[in-house]
Amino acid sequence: MEGETSWVSHCIDDIGRDVGEFDSYSELSDEENKEVMAVSLDLILPDDLLERILAYLPIASIFRAGCVCKRWYDIVNSRSFLWNFSRVLSQKPWYFMFTSSDEPIGYAYDPILRKWYGIELPSIETSNWFIASSGGLVSFMDNESRSELYVCNPITKRCKRLEQPPGLKFSDYSALAISMNRMSHSYNVSVVKSKQVPGDFFLWDLSIHVYDSETLMWLTPLTEVLTGWRGGDESVICDGVLYFLIYSMGGGSPENRHGLIAYNLSSRLSPGLLTRSSIPVPCSLTCGRLMNLKGKVAMVGGIGKQDRPDIIKGIGIWILNGKEWQEIARMPHKFFQGFGEFDDVFASSGTDDLIYIQSYGAPALLVFDMNQKQWRWSQKCPVTKKFPLQLFTGFCFEPRLETVP
């Protein structure tokens, strides 16, 4: 951080101003009284104790705290405060919803304060880029050449461009994942590339590429030719294991159209073992979305109709235990209907104990709490659908102040 201005200087003008901009969308009230009480406590608390208290506030409240007075500004701007904040195990993940197909603009939802904030994402150019997140860091990769790859902290706006991933420059399918080590703050980024072998629809080249932030190098631990299967755009890293979905290129029952590959990044499989060791999905799926929830692989999937597996009839949530899927919840029908027209594919991401689900056709956002087993709608996003074919998508990330790409 030497030679750099503080995170408050980076963010207070951009985010601090926006924190109050959408107060009308909040369910909170009587905030002025809370601030008066906070100021009165300030008279009796020493700096070190006040630091610890402020470190447990939601991110948006920390920005507000920095505007209270010079003493509070200096506290939240200090190195010791960032150290205290880093000891807070997790912040509830936010969800960033893109509101344009052409520009990377949108709003971020804070589930603690139940508010939407207007924030700008660094580096990303359009909403159709590949996106993955872990521990406060978000990785973006362009959807065309797939040669532009960034890792950033969307709260502090710190960003780093990585070298171009090795392997096929143009692939038919790519899956992006990132995993951050909370102890060392190092991270790995993985890209799974899949491309059809020319002239043969059933043969697909698949390669795995992994970036290590400590060595600043890419490695390609696996290249293989899949027969009858291809890679896709879903992957996640969990406990040092890379999980990614593969898709059948024809034949078999609807339940066998998807499979899950688990690849240990610290060891190497022999060629040909990938598809033979694949994990079947729990039922016929229209799509699957993978995520890391407290060290467990979770999947949110669209459940297909028995007679027409391409038509979605509901949404389920499963946790992977070994090689068996355990069903955690199914979306109640009233929430499924609440989306209106629901396509067979949809956006979903999660971390910690929250899962977000969003239809591409509307800005409605549904939240599932894994601890409370509770479904609820977010506050309404301050955006309206302007034309019938307008699409919405998004991703979740943990808001952190201390993580640096």
**Mean pLDDT of all residues in 350-365:** 92
The span from the CA of 7 to the CA of 245, in Å, is 37
Residue 291 has pLDDT above 80, yes or no: yes
Q: How confident is the model at residue 44 (pLDDT cuts 50, 70, 90)?
A: confident
**Mean pLDDT of all residues in 214-225:** 93
Q: Look at residue 255 in the predicted model and tell me its pLDDT.
A: 64
Residue 33 has pLDDT above 70, yes or no: no
Q: Look at residue 185 in the predicted model and tell me its pLDDT.
A: 86
* Domain boundaries of the chain, sorted by first residue: 44-85, 90-397
Q: Looking at 65-79, 145-159, 327-341, which range is the least confident one?
A: 65-79
- Residue with the bigger pLDDT between 136 and 5: it is 136
- Alpha carbon 129 to its chain centroid, in Å, reads 13
Q: How confident is the model at residue 20 (pLDDT cuts 50, 70, 90)?
A: very low
Q: Look at residue 127 in the predicted model and tell me its pLDDT.
A: 86
CATH class of this structure's domain 44-85: mainly alpha
pLDDT in tens, 112-131: 889 999 888 988 988 889 99
- Residue with the bigger pLDDT between 233 and 383: it is 233
Residue 350 has pLDDT above 80, yes or no: yes
Q: Looking at 47-51, 82-86, 186-190, 267-271, which range is the least confident one?
A: 267-271
| Mean of pLDDT over the chain | 83
Q: Look at residue 373 in the predicted model and tell me its pLDDT.
A: 94
Alpha-carbon dihedral sign for residues 38, 26, 349, 196? negative
Q: Look at residue 126 in the predicted model and tell me its pLDDT.
A: 86
- Is 157 within 8 Å of 180 (Cβ atoms)? no
- Residue with the bigger pLDDT between 186 and 52: it is 186
**Mean pLDDT of all residues in 200-228:** 92
Residue 289 has pLDDT above 50, yes or no: yes
Q: Looking at 153-167, 266-280, 309-323, which range is the least confident one?
A: 266-280
Q: Coil, strand, or helix at residue 319?
A: strand
pLDDT in tens, 161-196: 999 988 777 889 999 999 999 888 899 999 999 999
Q: Look at residue 253 in the predicted model and tell me its pLDDT.
A: 64
* pTM reported for the whole predicted model: 0.84
Residue 143 has pLDDT above 90, yes or no: no
Q: Look at residue 14 in the predicted model and tell me its pLDDT.
A: 44
The span from the CA of 10 to the CA of 156, in Å, is 6
Specify the long-range contacts of residues 164-168, CB closer than 8 Å, at least 24 apart.
165/191, 165/193, 165/209, 165/211, 165/218, 166/209, 166/218, 166/220, 167/191, 167/193, 167/207, 167/209, 167/220, 167/223, 168/193, 168/195, 168/205, 168/207
**Mean pLDDT of all residues in 92-111:** 89
Residue with tokens 């060290």: 295
Q: Look at residue 274 in the predicted model and tell me its pLDDT.
A: 64
Q: Looking at 141-150, 186-195, 265-274, which range is the least confident one?
A: 265-274
Q: Looking at 53-62, 80-89, 154-163, 287-296, which range is the least confident one?
A: 80-89
Q: Look at residue 41 in the predicted model and tell me its pLDDT.
A: 61
Q: What percent of the chain has pLDDT over 90?
A: 45
Q: What percent of the chain has pLDDT over 70?
A: 85
- Alpha carbon 168 to its chain centroid, in Å, reads 25
Give strand ranges (E) for 249-337: 258-264, 279-280, 285-293, 296-304, 312-321, 324-330
Residue 8 has pLDDT above 50, yes or no: no
CATH class of this structure's domain 90-397: mainly beta
Q: Looking at 20-24, 46-50, 244-248, 264-268, which range is the least confident one?
A: 20-24
**Mean pLDDT of all residues in 151-164:** 93
- Residue with the bigger pLDDT between 101 and 305: it is 305
